[in-house]
Structure 1
Amino acid sequence: MITSRRRLRLGAATAVALLATLAPVTAASATTDTTAPKISTTAIKQWLGPGDMKWRGAFWSANPAYSWSSSDNVGVASHEVQTWIGSGKGSRLGASTWSSTAKYAKTYAGSRRSVHVEVGEGEQACQRVRATDAAGNRSAWSGWRCTYAPFGEDTVDGAWDPSAFSFKLRKTGTANDRISTVPVKATGVRIRVATGPSRGKAKIHIGSTYLGTVSATAKRSGSKYVTLRRSSTLTGRIKVRGISNTPKSFLVTGLWALRSTSKLSSATIGHPATPAEYSEPGLPAPVASSDTTKPRITKFAFAPAWPSKRAGNGMYRATASWSAADNVKVTGYLYQEKRAAGGTSHFGASTTYTTQTTQTRWPDYDGDTICLRARARDAAGNLSSWTGWKCSVAPITVLGGNWASGGFPSIAGSAWVYAAVSPRTSDQTIDRFAAKALRLKVRTGPTRGKAKIYVGGTHFGTVNTYAKKNGSKWVVVRHKREVRGRIRVVAKTKKVYVGPVYVIKDVSKAVRTEIG
């Protein structure tokens, strides 16, 4: 019994001594740790293909995963990821996210091992990561890993196949289809072409600089990649021109811009001199907080989409409104606005910070289009996802003076125009419009007939306005791609009355994500 008690007392004393010995060692290690973490590996899919791109309702984009592995002697506490975006304007640092540690880096938990970056058509996205341990030691930044997305129908004009990322060129006599992208800053191109005995050749340019000729002729059908590059950055549109002496086709199934990565190691990253395209105007600095929960937009509307009545100031009016929710409090909103005149699908863009939940806009001139979207922000700087784009379009009306009335008279004091019985009579707009579809209101009744609707020389559809009783209806006519020209109504049989006409642009082409 005595021996057992001695053993117990000895064991307790030994344990206390051991704990006393270990405690200061543990405390000391927390303050004396000078070993920096290490980034072991990083990876991202380098060449995104058409199959990686998803339709987002108004544009094509992909969300490839950027992954990494890290290690530290006492454990990694957090990771910071920086993103560099290369769009048509050239490379620049993305600043879509803010954190309390670095203006242009997003901080993640130490357990995080991957993030997703959004890449649009023809864009390049590069990312790098560094780790920080509990003692504040930081690893060196990893090298940049880049991914490239192919150009698609939205950013290429000319002839194309039904696939948004497949483009066919053919030279027959003097006819020569072409591929021409938006203007880019690039050192070269990577092109994937279909090969085979029926395929021809094409010349590749960036702006006025000739990069080389690609031959797709082969004994058997297949495909191949060709890379053409220069040592310096070139500015201009990427152009592909068929040059076969016979009517052979040249099928492009993937086209990428190769941008210079030399600027990516610049020390200006995170510096106030970072390009202003990605700064968010008037955005208050985030407060120090452990809050990492993102707000969410609960409702977003922009109405009316098709205004038909003018406001008291004689202009059309549409109002965007939204609401949001957050675990703490929503402190403000970012909204983006894009506006295009009737004759073009190019949208002027702007980004604005506000604490309001409504914005009123005036799509006043015939065929004008205004589109808005919004996101919420809390005091800690957490951002919700962007809403989808909502648009409002001004009608083309007789009262606006846009119809030529060359083939028949407009009805005085009314927004209606009509075509007479003769199939040759027609009316057309004075202005030219860029349109993929038209929304028309027509009068119906037993004395009404049919009319063909054109944009320029392109037939969009035939409208039948015959009905047993008098009335009216809305009709939408569409084409497979956007066309620019005068909108023309050509009578086929009896009189056709056409009311307000709304021009629907190719939103996938006109509304892009380049502004944020």
Structure 2
Amino acid sequence: MGSHEAGACQLFGRGITGWTAFLAATTLLAAGMIPVSEAAARQVEAGLIQTTTGPPTEVASTSLATAAELPGAAQAVALTASTVFVQTAGDSGSQVWWRERSGGEWSSSWGGTELAGELVAAESDVVHLRQGENEILAWTRDGGGSRAVPTGTSLGRGAQYIGYFNARLQVAVQPVASAQDLPLPAQGVGTGEGGIVVVGDDVVAMSGSGIRVFDIPTARPIANQTACPQEIWRDAALSGAGSRLVLASCGPDGDIGAVDIGGVYTRFVPAGSLERGFLTGEAFALGRSATSGDLTVVPALSGSPAGGSGTLGPTTSFDLDDRATAVAFVDAVGDVRTADLSPWSSELATEIVDTTAPSATANVSGMWSSDESVLASRSYSASMLATDAGNYPYKASGVASGELRFRQKLAGQSTFGNYVIAASSTTGTHPAGSTSCWSARAVDRAGNQGAWGSEQCVAIDGARPTVTTTALPARVKATETATPVTFKYSARDNGKVATYDVRYHKDKGGTQIGSWVYPRSGTGITARSFTVGTGKSYRVCFSMRARDAAGNVSGWTSSRCTYVDGMAPKVTKATMSTRWLAPITADEIRWKPRFSFGASDDQGVAAYQFEERYAGGRTRLPSVPSRYLWDEVPGTSARIGLDPGDQLCRRVRAKDQVGNIGSWSSWKCVNAPFMTGDRYMTAADTGNFGATVTSRFGASTKGIVAVRSVRVKVQTGPGYGAMKVYAGSEYLGTVNAYASKSGTAVKTLTTSSGKVKAAKVRFVAKSTKSVKVRAIYFVR
């Protein structure tokens, strides 16, 4: 692209990372020496196509300057529309000279700039030089000027822009006379690792095997294609570009890869193999032959007036002029010569030739059922999927329009109706249980109409949903306000369950049956539960049905009912087997009195709860009862274990099946006697039948006990006297055991304060006659 040194064409290294090419509409032509008429019958395979050509014909050339006429030995040459530039070597380094193509004196000054250094390129009125580590541009427009440019700069054909890599190694573009970067989307252009060139208003970048072309003034993409096979992307490099053609060197053998920016051809690969550093014309590649090393022009299109490749013999440097129709080169003896390459510069084809009709199929999309044999919804969309093929070597013109048609068989019918024509994309609703068969055809931009494609048939779900569960508690506990009762349900369908309908009715006490209510909030809902508020002692009953996405509706389910229980159980019985337990003379001194209870409820008692107040032999009866957890109690009684001197009180309440709790019963207490044996008391005699209190020997508890009242049972008769009872130092009262006949007597004595007192309980004889204590109960 533009004027370049033959040995240093604008290549910036091989691609070192992968680059994804977007090839949905790649348009390249297999050309070379294959006539178009023959190429149409050949199958083009992916990658490069190598064609066999005859020996290159010799291209006539004329002299621009003999070696004797040059200011020194020619090292490099560049050509513009009017000027030839030559780089020579001298004692002070490289020098660049110029003169008119028609002849004249040589000069080393260009636009006021001395052309010292290496000649890189020349385009129009701009010269690109390398001076050691630096590069400069010099121009003659507007009175002349020069400026430094980044290393590796590519001077574009037309001399309006330069391309280079910025500090982030991204492709950047500047005007020739300005160091200001233009707003080019560098990331969109790519990394350009395979090279960058500028042609007119376009910048071309190659990454891997992919070519991207952008318009500089608008920063819009023009082409995005692949020039080399993907498998050799690491060994691909950009060579140059014209207004329609981009060429690249592909692989180590000098194969040429091409991109047709205009997108006319199906596949485009020129014939021949050239060494790296070849140049690109509008319809040819120019470079050293990979086999002979001679400067060779390779046609990019079959049917070129030149009829094949041409050779210009050995050369050390070569360059195309601004229009890429003439070449200047240094021949084997050091002369600078020029040759006319216009026979290889014919315009590329511009007319698209497409006589192949497109093919089309119908595509139906919607919500398919689980087995994918039917649509779960009555609504769906149908669209045309079409592809167009061109006539080799021309690409397809593309699909312009299309249409759909369908025929339908309704549920219960055995035959289809007539075809109905529709647009190329349509959305509709068909009856549940129906089957519709769709087909499509398309017309391309060249006017070729395809045949109707194969049919795609779709059946609409015609099966009703099946209810899988309905859940409702038999009873719920009533609340202070309307009690919420929640009905749960679900259904399945071969497609998809869409909505549910719920109805209910209420019955007062289950005897006053109400009519069904169809609430708006329960019609066509997606929720799988529904709640109704209900008063106490009401029975509420539910029923539901399901509807699928195709509109099929199940039948109403059978009724499921819940009773709202607001009546708490009532305790009808709470008794102890006895209050005062009799003394035990057996070896194991432990009592097991029975607490019996019962309750009634309209829906049945589910459980009982106990509260208990317990005092051991030396402890107080607590004021705050301890509570037991809810528990199912077998039967309606429970045994209680007590040790000597213990006191226990219980009360009970009942709970029904939904959690209503009744009131507590009254406390029921039981007392075990305090044993009068010598393990517990000191007395004149402490046998199994009691303790004896005499005037010589009183009696007392061996330890401190808690006492609010003392209940004493004594033996009575003519031979017994009286005794005083103390709690510590407090006198509680006197118990008289004298009686005319033998028997027993019970007396209860209480502290003066009525409060529990912790002390030893003492018995002191009041007369000379003794008192026989049969049992003592400490009430706390």
TM-score normalised over the length of structure 2: 0.27
Bigger relative contact order, structure 1 or 2 (CA pairs below 8 A, ≥6 apart): 1
Computing the radius of gyration over CA atoms, which structure comes out larger, 1 or 2?
2
TM-score normalised over the length of structure 1: 0.40
**Which of the pair is proportionally richer in helix?**
1
